[in-house]
Amino acid sequence: MNAPVKKQHLIDPEICIRCNTCEETCPIDAVTHDDNNYVVQVEICNYCMDCIAPCPTGAIDNWRIVSRPYTLEEQFSWGELPSQEELPQDEAAGAIIEALEDEVGAILEEARKGLGGKAVAPASASKPTVNLYNRGKPAKATVVGNFRLTDNAAENDVRHIILDFGEMPFPVLEGQSIGVLPPGTGANGAPHAVRLFSIASPRDGEKPNANNVSLTVKREPGGVCSNYLCDLPKGAKVEVTGPFGATFLMPNDPAAHIIMICTGTGSAPFRAFTERRRRAMPQAAGKLVLFFGARRPEELPYFGPLQKVPANLLTQHLCYSRVAGQPKTYVQDRLRQEEAFVASLLKEANTHVYICGLKGMESGVDEAFADICRHAGIDWAALKPEMRGSGRYHVETY
Amino acid sequence: MDGLNVDYTTKIPNNVNLGSDRQVLKALEGWHPGYLDWWNDMGPEGFQESLVYLRTAVSVDPKGWAKFDYVKMPEYRWGILLAPQEEGRNVNFGEHLGEPAWQEVPGEYRAMLRRLVVIQGDTEPASVEQQRHLGKTAPSLYDMRNLFQVNVEEGRHLWAMVYLLQKYFGRDGREEADDLLRRRSGDADAPRMLGAFNEATPDWLSFFMFTFFTDRDGKMQLESLAQSGFDPLSRTCRFMLTEEAHHMFVGETGVGRTLQRTCEAMTAAGVEDPYDKDRVRSLGVIDLPTIQKKMNLHFTLSLDLFGSEVSTNAANFYNSGLKGRFQETKIDDDHRLTSATYPVSKLIDGEVKLVDEPALTALNMRLRDDYVADCAKGVERWNKIIEKSGVKFRLELPHVAFHRHIGEFRDVKVSPEGEAIGEAEWEKGKDQWLPSKEDGDFIEALMKPETEPAKFAGWIAPPKVGIDNKPGDFEYVKIAA
């Protein structure tokens, strides 16, 4: 994160009714008021978000990226909220609030480097809730399911883990992530770092109207958090933060075409996207196209369930790089094979591209798009930033 | 149970350990069917089968108390929710100042305390009764949802008071709890206890004015009761205040959106004179002077709720540590008021003058002053909406002596500017100051329901943000569920 910019919590004076609920609720007295306005003291607020839900108006839920925080006097004098000030390009990189904790913000910033610019949410995406729970006040989730997705014979162990929030509200959108806090401390005595996982279930839960999320977790040799999660029995409690992410979101517009490109556990958000479409708009006019790479079918998470997804809902391109007797096929190879179709979609103004998985896939996919565009007479160097700027190109790699 | 999360294992959701308090649980379960009967008879007319996007508290922790989902109103989880107990809380005013707060009712204050709880409790179902016909003329699904949210929460506030009665006042408490369901707003034989709660709420502008002015009296009363040395009452009222804020919001933004629509329509049609009533009304919006009149009415009815300016009852409540001042603990004085004075407005030789009275007996006056200041700020925010549109008009709160039925000014006629006037002058002016029959007829004619998502009746502007961040076309009420 760039040091000089700060996310400042502000209250919209045009919407606020001065009911004092926020001031009453704030556990550390960061909210104060004069005869004109209720305001948040920037040097006290620790983003605990306790004031957000009780506010009857929504006025409390406003944030600005600032190079110089607004003073109390400035805030007291406002009749309306100032708009987001223009920041230099590099400072503006974090201008959309994906997370309020620097620890998490840094992870997301790293994951979005492949975008080559500022991340923008799709125009028709729902407004996400961000950072409802943090390290100081995590949500306690209960493991209600934990099973292996990859074949028993496969060497990688990828698991589908369902976390239930009981009566605690945990609103999520497809494409958002949650943080998991593994218990205990590292060698230096500090708590283990938070790990982020994309949710694999749609906004209304693993089954409709359940207050839970599912995660796709790969057991990493020696990985603190992945081993902790993969070994959890049913009924175990997990400390969770988030939700995080405000740009890698699904367009609500049923006419939007969505190209999803992933490897391994990068499939998690796309499982959520697909399930959302299936539940909320099964007759959507927009196409849903998946390019999914793995070494072998046995190692492809959700291989079984994917076989049951109807072709009119989802066009699947499963690509394998280690199947004996077959040429190695990576996602970028399949993109090239589907050149005409991909180009036709890229020409449409309501096509959205999402890339999620290992960092290594980024350059190959980018080159494939460049080639496809060149053959179709499209300038990829111009189209990519245009799509990004209009919230239609998204990258989350790790 | 940790006192924050709500126990749903009993029929009545609660965070007061009802599960192990069999006697009170039984009493409340006995009261429950009567409550549901009351809700079905006197609650919102129609729409009882509709799915309404309501918030329900699942915990009194800030994160848990606004859980949104579709609910049929009769299935709303009315529960007993108290703010968490503060370790080492004391009585903060009156003759018991500094003593530990009471967890049980002090014997000598039993009758006084019961009266306080009953008066507060009586207002809660009353407003539901007053508003029961409004659903069918809602100007949008958004507004309809807000109305029903207010209604179910007033219902919950009744539960909150009934819990106190059943738990702490024995047999008398149970009888009082039953009587709360027996009285009816506006009923000739068994009316509600306070005047403003027996007035009709005939249209949506009245509803918005009511939630702005009358529910704000509720806020002031709850805030003073939240100061109580009787800890369960304090904790109950603190949690109710969080809900009450939503009611203020409905009122303030409802009137604000009405003003905005009127100003927009006037500007679009090039009408510059806000008093050109016929032209403004022909645009299908409510003219600003009529809105001023509605405001005059509801403000003054609400002032009456504060009782007599000088009151020994109020002094006794304070002295005994039962009911404090607004934000008592933030006031910098001795919190006993034994020798302090407070200026009280009185009519002397036909003029309204301020006279110093002992601060203890002037507590109603003081609370009313705090209330008027709070109202005035809201009215200024309304004026900003008008000002921004370029229309030349200002709303003004009338003088506190205008149109009063209780207290110092009940027997005199006073103009909105605060001048004592004769009967003849009053008769001449009253239709300019208070809504006339014709004004009421005009507003009533505008009250056409709008039940399509994203659409609003022509007399009111859409809100700036949706409830729970929902988009503009969200279906807040699924009427035919």
DSSP string, B108-119: GGHHHHHHHHHH
What is the structure's pLDDT at A131? 84
What residues of chain B lie within 8 A of the CB of A61, using their CB? 469
Whole-number Å distance between alpha carbons of B53 and B142 = 9
With contact defined as beta carbons under 8 Å apart, do A213 and A235 qualify? no
Per-residue pLDDT of B402-453, as tens digits, reads 999 999 999 999 999 999 999 999 999 999 999 999 999 999 999 999 999 9
Q: Are residues A169 and A284 in the same domain?
A: no
Q: Are residues A291 and A379 in the same domain?
A: yes
**Residue A302 is assigned to a structural domain of this protein:** yes
Ramachandran sector of residue A224 (left: φ over 0; alpha: ψ -120 to 50; beta: rest): alpha
- Residue in B292, B277, B253, B281 with CA at minimum distance from that of residue B393: B292
Per-residue pLDDT of B345-404, as tens digits, reads 998 888 889 999 999 999 999 999 999 999 999 999 999 999 999 999 999 999 999 999
Under an 8 A CB cutoff, do A129 and B242 touch? no
What is the structure's pLDDT at A84? 79
Last residue of a domain, one of A212, A244, A276: A244
A7 vs B183: which has the higher pLDDT: B183
Under an 8 A CB cutoff, do A17 and B65 touch? no
- Residue in B413, B405, B463 with CA at minimum distance from that of residue B433: B413
Per-residue pLDDT of B149-179, as tens digits, reads 999 999 999 999 999 999 999 999 999 999 9
Cβ of residue B10 closer than 8 Å to a chain A Cβ? no
Distance from CA of B190 to the nearest CA of A (A): 34
- Residue in A368, A376, A289 with CA at minimum distance from that of residue A336: A368
Residue that the structure tokens 């990493």 belong to: A220
Q: Searching chain A, which residue's CA lies closest to the CA of residue B67?
A: A169
Cβ of residue B66 closer than 8 Å to a chain A Cβ? yes
Q: Are residues A271 and A393 in the same domain?
A: yes
B140 vs A53: which has the higher pLDDT: B140
- Residue in B45, B18, B34 with CA at minimum distance from that of residue B180: B34
- What is the helix (H) or strand (E) element at residue A259, kind and residue range? strand A257-263
Q: Searching chain A, which residue's CA lies closest to the CA of residue B212?
A: A17
Specify the CATH number for the domain of residue A44: 3.30.70.20
Q: Searching chain B, which residue's CA lies closest to the CA of residue A21?
A: B242
**Residue A108 is assigned to a structural domain of this protein:** no
pLDDT over 70 at B5, yes or no = no
For chain A, give the percent of residues with pLDDT over 70: 96
Q: How many CB atoms lie within 10 A of CB A169?
A: 21
What is the structure's pLDDT at B1? 39
| Residues of chain A below pLDDT 50 | 1-4, 89-94
Task: Report, as an integer, the average pLDDT of B282-286.
Answer: 97
Distance from CA of B248 to the nearest CA of A (A): 8
User: What residue type is A352 in one-letter code?
Assistant: H
pLDDT over 70 at B16, yes or no = yes
- Of the partner residues B63, B249, B467, the one whose CB lies closest to the CB of residue A168: B63
Interface confidence (ipTM) of the complex: 0.84
**Residue A128 is assigned to a structural domain of this protein:** no
**Residue A249 is assigned to a structural domain of this protein:** no
Last residue of a domain, one of A196, A220, A244: A244
Ramachandran sector of residue A131 (left: φ over 0; alpha: ψ -120 to 50; beta: rest): left
- Residue in B242, B228, B240 with CA at minimum distance from that of residue B103: B228
Specify the CATH number for the domain of residue A221: 2.40.30.10
Q: Are residues A389 and A289 in the same domain?
A: yes
- Of the partner residues B62, B252, B384, the one whose CB lies closest to the CB of residue A25: B62
Q: Are residues A391 and A270 in the same domain?
A: yes
Q: Are residues A158 and A58 in the same domain?
A: no
What residues of chain B lie within 8 A of the CB of A20, using their CB? 245
With contact defined as beta carbons under 8 Å apart, do B124 and B161 qualify? yes
What is the structure's pLDDT at B4? 62
Last residue of a domain, one of A95, A130, A162: A95
Q: Give the range of the structural domain holding residue A305, as residue numbers without chain letter.
A: 257-397
Q: Are residues A240 and A297 in the same domain?
A: no
**Residue A340 is assigned to a structural domain of this protein:** yes
With contact defined as beta carbons under 8 Å apart, do A368 and A339 qualify? no
- What is the helix (H) or strand (E) element at residue A66, kind and residue range? strand A62-66
Q: Are residues A326 and A392 in the same domain?
A: yes
Cβ of residue B62 closer than 8 Å to a chain A Cβ? yes
Under an 8 A CB cutoff, do B465 and A57 touch? yes
What is the structure's pLDDT at B389? 96
Q: Are residues A164 and A65 in the same domain?
A: no
Domains defined along chain B, listed by start: 18-478 (1.10.620.20)
**Residue A353 is assigned to a structural domain of this protein:** yes
Indicate the pTM of the whole model.
0.75
Specify the CATH number for the domain of residue A291: 3.40.50.80
What is the structure's pLDDT at A137? 83
Q: Searching chain A, which residue's CA lies closest to the CA of residue B66?
A: A53
Tally of structural domains, chain A: 3
Per-residue pLDDT of B287-335, as tens digits, reads 999 999 999 999 999 999 999 999 999 999 999 999 999 999 999 999 9
